[in-house]
Amino acid sequence: MNALALLALAVPAASTDDGSPQPWFTVGPLLSVSRRQEDTAWGVGLESTINVAMHNNSTRSFRSGAVGVFGQGQWMDGDHARLCGGVQGTFLIFGLETGVAHETGTAAHRPTTSLHLAPFLGFVYGSVGVRFSLPFQDGRDLSGRLPYGREIGLTLTLKKPSSPML
């Protein structure tokens, strides 16, 4: 019974009988914990995606996937923001986000822009993923602040899907 419930969550939120692409939108909370070279960072925020289903997951076809764009905003460690956006793709429950992240500066760190890569397992109502951030900057700024370092983190989202087809 539990396997059937998990399978039901894996079916894309928007599909039609003929398999034609259908857009859908998701929005919901984003929680993360990440490790940098020097410390651990916690984040809470919001993630939103707009996807176009490439094929439905009907009983006649095993193909199911989507492509789209995503945006994230998080408050990190209670002292700075992390903004991120890019493209994402999914196949069945497997997905990958690629994009650019920007973290605002603090007294200890200068503002930093990074490459964002995040493989995830996605379900209709959420996802669990691992994110990697590789900063474009290195070295201190004029005030002596260092950029944020490389990051590896665990993310959890809960999302409410909506579509004209729901």
What span, in angstroms and rounded, lies between the C-alpha atoms of 97 and 77?
23
Q: Where are the domains of the chain?
A: 2-162
Nearest to 28 by CA among 159, 124, 162, 161: 159
What span, in angstroms and rounded, lies between the C-alpha atoms of 89 and 84?
16
**Ordered per-residue pLDDT tens for the chain, 166 residues:** 333 333 333 344 444 455 555 688 899 999 999 998 778 999 999 999 998 766 655 544 445 788 999 999 999 999 999 999 999 998 888 999 999 999 999 998 999 999 999 999 988 789 999 999 999 988 888 888 999 989 999 999 998 888 765 4
* CATH code of the region 2-162: 2.40.160
Phi and psi dihedrals of 9, rounded to 5?
-70, -25
